C-alpha cells in the first residue's frame, strides 16, 4: 500500500511500519502549513516577530502598563482641569462667568495633559526601538 493510495490517516498507518514515518512527515508538514497560514491571517505577536530580542514578555507588558497609566493620568488631569476651570469661572460672589480664571485652568490643564500624553508616547516609541535593536 503506498502513501498516494492511502488516506494517510493514523488508523490506516498503524499496521504498516514503513508508512508510519511517512504519515508523521505528512501530518507535520500539514501542521506547519496550517501554522504559517494562521500566522499570515492573524499576524505575529511582537515577541514572535523579533526573535533576537532578549526582552521577555513581562518586560514588554510592564512597558505597556506604564504607558497606559500615563495616558490615564493625562485623561484624569484633563477632566479635573475642565471641572476646576468651570468652577473657578463660576464663583458664587460674582454674578457673571469669569472667563479669565476659566481659561487659565483650562489652558494649564490641557498643556499639562498634552505633555504627559506626549511623554507616554515617547516611552512607547523608545521601547519599540529598543526591542527592535536587540
In the predicted model, is pLDDT for residue 61 greater than 50?
Answer: yes
pLDDT digits (tens, 9 = 90+) for 71-87: 999 999 999 999 999 99
Residues 26 and 83 in one domain: no
Residues 32 and 85 in one domain: no
Residues 84 and 21 in one domain: no
Q: Which residue segment(s) compose the domain that 12 sits in?
A: 1-43
Residues 105 and 79 in one domain: yes
3-state SS string for 94-117: CCCCCHHHHHHHHHHHHHHHHHHH
pLDDT digits (tens, 9 = 90+) for 106-133: 999 999 999 999 999 999 998 888 888 8
| Domain count for the chain | 2
Question: Could you give the CA distance from residue 118 to residue 44 in angstroms, rounded to a whole number?
Answer: 27
Between 39 and 12, name the one with better pLDDT.
39
C-alpha distances in Å from residue 31, one per residue of 18, 25, 47:
21, 10, 21
Residues 101 and 69 in one domain: yes
Contact between residue 131 and residue 50 where contact means Cβ atoms under 8 Å apart: yes
Residues 34 and 54 in one domain: no
HSE-CB of 39 using CA atoms within 13 angstroms: 11
Residues 55 and 109 in one domain: yes
Q: Grid coordinates representing 107?
A: 489652558
Output the pLDDT for position 132. 83
Question: Could you give the CA distance from residue 80 to residue 69 in angstroms, rounded to a whole number?
Answer: 16
In the predicted model, is pLDDT for residue 57 greater than 80?
Answer: no
pLDDT digits (tens, 9 = 90+) for 10-35: 555 544 444 555 555 556 777 778 77
In the predicted model, is pLDDT for residue 56 greater than 70?
Answer: no
Amino acid at each position: 500500500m503506498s502513501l498516494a493510495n492511502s488516506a494517510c490517516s493514523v488508523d490506516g498507518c498503524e499496521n504498516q511500519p514503513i508508512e508510519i514515518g511517512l504519515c508523521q512527515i505528512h501530518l507535520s508538514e500539514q501542521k506547519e502549513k496550517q501554522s504559517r497560514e494562521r500566522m499570515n491571517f492573524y499576524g505575529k505577536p511582537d515577541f514572535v516577530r523579533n526573535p533576537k530580542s532578549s526582552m521577555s514578555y513581562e518586560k514588554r507588558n510592564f512597558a505597556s502598563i506604564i504607558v497606559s497609566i500615563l495616558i490615564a493620568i493625562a485623561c484624569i488631569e484633563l477632566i479635573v482641569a475642565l471641572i476646576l476651570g468651570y468652577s473657578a469661572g463660576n464663583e458664587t460672589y460674582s454674578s457673571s462667568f469669569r472667563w479669565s480664571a476659566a481659561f487659565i485652568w483650562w489652558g494649564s490643564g490641557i498643556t499639562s495633559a498634552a505633555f504627559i500624553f506626549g511623554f507616554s508616547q515617547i516611552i512607547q516609541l523608545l521601547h519599540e526601538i529598543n526591542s527592535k535593536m536587540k
